[in-house]
Amino acid sequence: MDSFASTVLLLFLVTNPIGNLPLFITTLDSLPPERYRPVVIRESLFALITLAIFMVGGDQVLRLLKITQASLELAGGIILLMIAIKLVFGSAQSEADVPGAPARPPRKEPFIVPLAIPYIAGPAAISTCILVGGKGWEMLLISLTALLAAWLLGTLILLSGRWAGKILGVRALAALETLMGLLLTTMAVEMLIKGIKIAFLQA
């Protein structure tokens, strides 16, 4: 249960629904209000399928490329640390306008890019899915269930986008994003330590 809960938390953090919330709000701000939730659900499903594919087949790709577990742990830790630092210092929030404020109208309704990829299924999320999914069928089943749980929670947050943006405001969203960054930092450091240990054992 602890492994499942920690995997859900890790996947929730790397998909970053709270940090993505202001980005979703501003990207979809020019669409009719009734299109917000259908677009969020569609893009979230694309992201889920993408992450599940990497979780199931990523290990075979690593074997083909002869990438070791230590290298993956270290690379994943570095990517997570970079994302965490970005969250802590609020650069994601600075890229977005105030929720509800006029945004640059997109030429057409976003499709896959940038909402599904890379906002939800970004490099950190993809590398994390490869990492947690490549440890046998039992762990893969647990990881897929954890991915679904994290995805459901994240999608619910994104679906509440316009309502949450009005209720919480910019400062509260930025504070939540910083908190997620701090949690993700500890996980990134743990991955780096684990990668270093594996590298020494393999040497």
- Please enumerate, as own/partner, the contacts of 118-121 that have beta carbons within 8 Å and a separation of 24 or more: 119/16, 119/20, 119/23, 119/24, 119/47, 120/15, 120/16, 120/17, 120/20, 120/43, 120/44, 120/47, 120/154, 121/15, 121/46, 121/47, 121/50, 121/51
Q: Which residues of the chain have pLDDT under 50?
A: 91-99, 101-107
Structure-token match 């947050």, residue found: 157
Q: What is the pLDDT of residue 9?
A: 92
pLDDT of residue 203: 61
Question: What pLDDT, on the 0 to 100 scale, is given for residue 73?
Answer: 78
pLDDT score, position 134: 64
Which CB contacts under 8 angstroms, 24+ apart, belong to 79-82? 79/123, 79/124, 79/127, 80/14, 80/124, 80/128, 80/184, 80/187, 80/188, 80/191, 81/185, 81/188, 81/189, 81/192, 82/124
Domain ranges across the chain: 2-202
| Claim: this prediction has a pTM higher than 0.85 | no
